Amino acid sequence: MGAEPEADADALMTEKRKRLNMDEKKITQPIAELREMQRDRGNPERSVLETAMFLEDVFGIRLEDSEMDEAHLGSDADLETLTSLVVQKLGGPEDGDRDVTGSGPGSHIPGEIPGGLRNTPKSEA
Amino acid sequence: MCGICGFYGTGGDPAIQGTWNEKGNLAGPGVQAQKHILSSMIDSLGHRGPDGQGMHIQGPIALGHARLAVIDLITGAQPVSNGDGRYWITYNGEIFNYLELREELRAKGHRFRTESDTEVLVHGYEEYGIDFFRRLNGQWAAAIWDARREELLLCRDRVGICPLFYTKVGKKILFASEVKALFRDPEVPRELDLRGLMETFTFWTSVPPQTVFHGISELPPGRWIRFGRESVEEGSYYEFDFPEYSREDVGSGTAKQYAEELREVLREATRLRFTRSDVPVAAYLSGGIDSSVTAGVIQQFTQTELKTFSLRFSDNEFDEGGYQEQMVQRLGTDHEAITVGYRDIGKIFPEVVRHAEKPILRTAPAPMFLLSRLVRDSGYKVVVTGEGSDEMLGGYDIYREAVVRSFIARDPVSSRRGEIIRHLYPWLQRNPTAMPAMARSFFSQSLDDADPALSHRPRWQSASGISRLLGEGARAELSKYDVTEDFVARIPAEAGGWHPLSRAQWLEVKSLLAGYLLSSQGDRMLMANGVEGRFPFLDPNLIDWAAKLPPRYKIMGLDEKFILKHAFRDMLPQEILKRPKQPYRAPDAASFFGTSLEWLDELTSPESLKASGIFNPAAVAHLVAKCRKRSGQGMSNFDNMAVTAVLSTLLLQREFGLS
C-alpha cells in the first residue's frame, strides 16, 4: 500500500507530460502555418507585428511592447522559440495545468471569458 | 430568376372585395381595374422576366409572374399549383437541389406535371410546410397561396439574393420583386422614408424590413411572413450565426485539411450552379481571386469552352485588365470584356438608380449594369460570379481592420501596436500627413474590445456625415432616430461569445451584403438586363462550413482569405495569388463632372434642389461647385461618396415621384 502514492505521483507526472506534449503540438502547428505563410515575403517588420497579433489572438496571451521585436518574434525566432514564448505566457511547462483554451491560469487578458473574448454584457450585445 | 408580384384582398375593403363573386371568380365593377393593376405590375417587371408572363386570380388572391426561362423551358410557366390545387405559387429564383428533392417527394407520392424547380417548391411546402425552406439549396423569393386557409405566405432565401417587398393599403396586401411594381397600384403612397434614407447614409443600404419608401417593407433574408384575413404571422427559418469561439479548437485541424474540405464544398456548390440549367451558363472574371477560382472550378465540369465576361475601365486606376488576361490565358476561356469610361457611367446613372430603387453611395453598380447588358447581348442569361467569398472567407479590409483594432484595443497606450496600421495599408506610408490623421480617425474610435460593432463604427460614422447635407426639416425628423444603435441592438446575444471577426462578418452580411452587394450592385444590375447571377460562395453548405472555420484560417496575420488562396494556389497564377486585395471600385465624381450630362444640370439647378425638399440647397450647391471646379478629379473619399448619394437620392425622388 505504501508504494501507491508514489505510483499515483508517477502516473500524474506521465499524464502531465502527455498533456504538455499534446498542447505543445497544438501551439506549434498554428505557428508553423503562420511562418509558412510569411516565408519568402520579406518585410521583417510586418512579420514581427503580424506574429504578435497572431499569437495574442490565437492563444489568448498578451505581449509587451518590448517583446514585439526581431529577437523575440522575427525571422530568427524559430518554431521552438515561439512555442516556448507562448508556453511561458500561458503559465509555463512547470505548471501542468496550463490551458490553451484561454480559461486557465495562462489567460492574461483581464475580463476575458473562457474562449478568450471579453465578457460582453448581454445588454451590450 | 424572374419577377413576381400580386395582391391579396383580406376583406372588408370595397375596392377589393367587390371585385370577386361568391364563386371565387373576378366579378363586379372593380374587376377590370384590378386585372389591369396586376397586368401592369407584371409589365413593370418585364426586364426581370422577358420570356413570358402568367397570372392566377382566385377568390381574394391575384398572383403574377414575369418569366426568365432557365430551367424547364417548355412547361415551366408560372404560377403553378400542387396536385389538388390547394397551394399556388409564384416564385423567383432557382432551387439547385431540386432534382434530389423531387425524387424524395415522388417517393412520398407526389406527382409532378412539369420538370421545373418551382413545382418541387410547392409540393415540398405541401409536404413539410415552412421547414421545407431549410432543405433548399438555392436563391429564391416566393409567394405561396393556401386556398383552403386563405393565407398568403412570402418567403426569401437565406442571404437575400432574390428581392421581395410588400405593403398594405387598406386591407389589401401587395407584394413584388421590385418596388416599382407596387407603385403600379395608384393607392400605394409614393413617399420617401427618412429613416430608410438615414440607414442608407450610414450602412450604404437600408436594413430590411426598412426601405427608403414610406410604408413599404422588404422581407429580411431567411424569413417568412404569412398574411391571413385577420392575422399576420412571421418568423425565421434560418439564422446566420457562428459557433461560440473557443481556443480549444487550436490545433484540432490543419490548413491542409481545411483546404481539402473547402475544395470539396466549393466544387459541389459550383457544380450545382453550373450544371443545373437548361440554358448555357457563363462566368464573370474580374481578375480577382474569387471569380478566378469559380471559373477555374467550372472548367472541371465542362468539355466545351467556357464563356467569360469582364469589366474594364478606361481609367487605369480602376482597371484590372492585366489580371483578367492572365486568367483567361490560364483557363483558355472564350472571353469578352467591356471597357467603361466616365461618360458611360454618368450617362447610364439615372437608369441604374431606377433599377437599384435606393440611393447609392458609389457608382460601382453602373458598370455592373453595363456588364450584364453585354452578357445579354452576347446571348447569355445566366452567369456564375464570385460574390460572397469576401464575406464568408474573410476578404475585406474591414475584417482586417477589425483584427487590427482588437490588437490595438488590448493596449491602447502601446506605441508599438499602432505601427501595424502602416502594414495594413502600405499606401499610407506614401502620405506622411494623412497617416496620423487616418490612424486617428479609423483606429482610435470606440476602441472598446467589448463593443460588438467595433469593426464597423468608423465606416458608419464616415458615411453618416452625408446627413450634414440634409435640410433642416429632414434633420429635425431624423433626430428622433439612432439608426446605428438600433442596428447594433439586433446583434444576437450569443455574439458576445463569437470571435471578433465573426461579429464583423455578421454585421457585414446583415447590412452591406444583402442590401448593397447582392441588391444595388447585384440582382438589380443583373436583372435589369434579364441576367441571372449564381453565387457558389453563398451555397448554404459553404456558408455553414465557413462559419465553423477557425478565424485564423480566414485572416492569417494580415493576409486575407488565407484558406481560399491555400486551397487553390495551384490553380491560380502567382500574380493573382499574391496581388494586394483591390476592392471593386468605379470612378464617382469624375463620372458626373468630367463630362457634360444633361440630367445633371437639370437635377442640380437651384430650383430642383429647392423643390426636392430633402437637402440643404446651399450645402449641395457648394459640393456640386467643388466637384465641377475639379471636373470631379482628386476628390476626397467623402466628397465622392456624398455627391453620389445626393445625386442618386434626387434621381430616385424624380423617377418615382416621391414626396
Residue at A42 is within a domain: yes
Write out chain B residues lying below 8 Å of A37, CB-based.
Answer: 556-557, 559, 562
The pLDDT of residue A11? 62
The larger pLDDT score, comparing residue B455 to residue A97, is at B455
User: Which residue range forms the structural domain that includes residue A57?
Assistant: 4-90
Q: How many CB pairs under 8 A join A and B?
A: 121
Does position B136 have pLDDT exceeding 90, yes or no?
A: yes
Does position B549 have pLDDT exceeding 90, yes or no?
A: yes
Contact between residue B196 and residue B210 where contact means Cβ atoms under 8 Å apart:
yes
Number of compact structural domains in chain A: 1
Written as nine digits, the cell of B73 is 423551358
* Cβ–Cβ contact B556 with A under 8 A: yes
Written as nine digits, the cell of B2 is 424572374
CA-angle at A21, arms to A16 and A23, nearest 5°: 90
Maximum CA extent, chain A: 63
The pLDDT of residue B20? 52
pLDDT tier, A77 (very low <50, low <70, confident <90, very high otherwise): confident
For domain B3-236, which CATH number applies: 3.40.50.460, 3.10.310.40, 1.10.150.240, 3.60.20.10? Answer: 3.60.20.10
- Which residue is associated with the grid cell 440643404? B616
Does position B535 have pLDDT exceeding 70, yes or no?
A: yes
Q: Using one digit for the tens of pLDDT, what is the confidence trace for B52-111?
A: 999 998 888 999 999 998 988 887 888 999 989 999 999 999 999 999 999 999 999 999
* Cβ–Cβ contact B580 with A under 8 A: no
Write out chain B residues lying below 8 Å of A115, CB-based.
Answer: 244-247, 497
Q: Distance (Å, rounded) from C-alpha B349 to C-alpha B644?
A: 10
Per-residue pLDDT averaged across B402-419, rounded? 85
Q: Using one digit for the tens of pLDDT, what is the confidence trace for B309-351?
A: 999 999 988 999 999 999 999 999 999 999 999 999 999 999 9
Instruction: Characterize B96-111 residue by residue with b for buried, 16 or more Cβ atoms within 10 angstroms of its Cβ, and e for exposed.
Output: bbbeebbeebeeeebe
The pLDDT of residue B3? 96
Across the interface, do B452 and A125 touch by the CB < 8 Å criterion?
yes
DSSP at B520 = I
Across B222-346, the runs of DSSP E, i.e. the strands, are 223-227, 232-236, 282-284, 307-313, 334-340
Mutate to test the interface with B, among A68, A79, A86, A118 (most CBs of B within 10 A): A118
Q: Using one digit for the tens of pLDDT, what is the confidence trace for B268-313?
A: 999 999 999 999 999 999 999 999 999 999 999 988 999 999 999 9
Q: Which of A51, A109, A117 sits opposite B497 (nearest CB)?
A: A117
Q: Distance (Å, rounded) from C-alpha B467 to C-alpha B646?
A: 10
Helix residue spans in B336-364 (DSSP H): 342-356
* Cβ–Cβ contact B84 with A under 8 A: no
Per-residue pLDDT averaged across B592-608, rounded? 92
* Cβ–Cβ contact A113 with B under 8 A: yes
What percent of chain B stands above pLDDT 90? 74
Write out chain B residues lying below 8 Å of A47, CB-based.
Answer: 557
Per-residue pLDDT averaged across B226-242, rounded? 95
pTM for this one?
0.89
Q: Distance (Å, rounded) from C-alpha B316 to C-alpha B379?
A: 29
Across the interface, do A33 and B556 touch by the CB < 8 Å criterion?
yes
* Cβ–Cβ contact A79 with B under 8 A: no
Strands B282-284 and B382-384: parallel
Tell me which H or E stretch contains B272.
helix B255-275
The larger pLDDT score, comparing residue A92 to residue B346, is at B346
Across the interface, do B416 and A37 touch by the CB < 8 Å criterion?
no
| Fold of domain B249-392+530-578 | Rossmann fold (3.40.50)
- Tell me how far apart the terminal alpha carbons of chain B are, to the nearest angstrom: 32
Does position A60 have pLDDT exceeding 50, yes or no?
A: yes
Q: Which of B245, B246, B493 sits opposite A122 (nearest CB)?
A: B493
Contact between residue A122 and residue B496 where contact means Cβ atoms under 8 Å apart:
yes
Across the interface, do B557 and A118 touch by the CB < 8 Å criterion?
no
Does position B27 have pLDDT exceeding 80, yes or no?
A: no
Across the interface, do A65 and B415 touch by the CB < 8 Å criterion?
yes
Average pLDDT, chain B: 91
Mutate to test the interface with A, among B242, B246, B247, B563 (most CBs of A within 10 A): B247
pLDDT tier, B587 (very low <50, low <70, confident <90, very high otherwise): very high
| A57 to chain B: closest CA residue | B407
Written as nine digits, the cell of A88 is 511561458
* Cβ–Cβ contact A11 with B under 8 A: no
Does position A33 have pLDDT exceeding 80, yes or no?
A: yes
* Cβ–Cβ contact B498 with A under 8 A: yes
Per-residue pLDDT averaged across A82-95, rounded? 77
The pLDDT of residue B247? 75
Residues of chain B with CATH 3.60.20.10: 3-236
Tell me which H or E stretch contains B217.
strand B216-218
The pLDDT of residue B216? 98
Q: Using one digit for the tens of pLDDT, what is the confidence trace for B556-568?
A: 999 999 999 999 9
- Which residue is associated with the grid cell 444583402? B514
Q: Distance (Å, rounded) from C-alpha B552 to C-alpha B148?
A: 52
The pLDDT of residue B35? 84
Across the interface, do A124 and B451 touch by the CB < 8 Å criterion?
yes
Write out chain A residues lying below 8 Å of B557, CB-based.
Answer: 34, 37-38, 47, 50-51, 53-54
Contact between residue B60 and residue B9 where contact means Cβ atoms under 8 Å apart:
yes
* Cβ–Cβ contact B421 with A under 8 A: no
Considering only CA atoms, which of B355, B41, B4 is closest in space to residue B155? B4
Does position A106 have pLDDT exceeding 70, yes or no?
A: no
Residue at A97 is within a domain: no
Maximum CA extent, chain B: 79
Please give the C-alpha separations between residue B526 and each of B378, B491, B522, B606, B649, in angstroms, as whole numbers: 14, 30, 6, 35, 21
Q: How far is A19 from chain B (nearest CA, A)?
A: 13
Which residue type is seen at A45? E
B282-284 sheet: strands from edge to edge = B334-340, B307-313, B282-284, B382-384, B532-534
Write out chain B residues lying below 8 Å of A121, CB-based.
Answer: 450, 496
The pLDDT of residue B21? 52
Q: Which of A30, A65, A111 sits opposite B552 (nearest CB)?
A: A30
Peptide bond into B606 cis (omega under 30): no
What ipTM score was computed for the predicted complex, to two decimals? Answer: 0.83
Q: Distance (Å, rounded) from C-alpha B571 to C-alpha B568?
A: 5
Across the interface, do A52 and B407 touch by the CB < 8 Å criterion?
yes
Q: Using one digit for the tens of pLDDT, what is the confidence trace for B102-135?
A: 999 999 999 999 999 999 999 999 999 999 999 9
Write out chain B residues lying below 8 Å of A120, CB-based.
Answer: 450, 452, 495-496
Does position B600 have pLDDT exceeding 80, yes or no?
A: yes
Which residue type is seen at B641? M
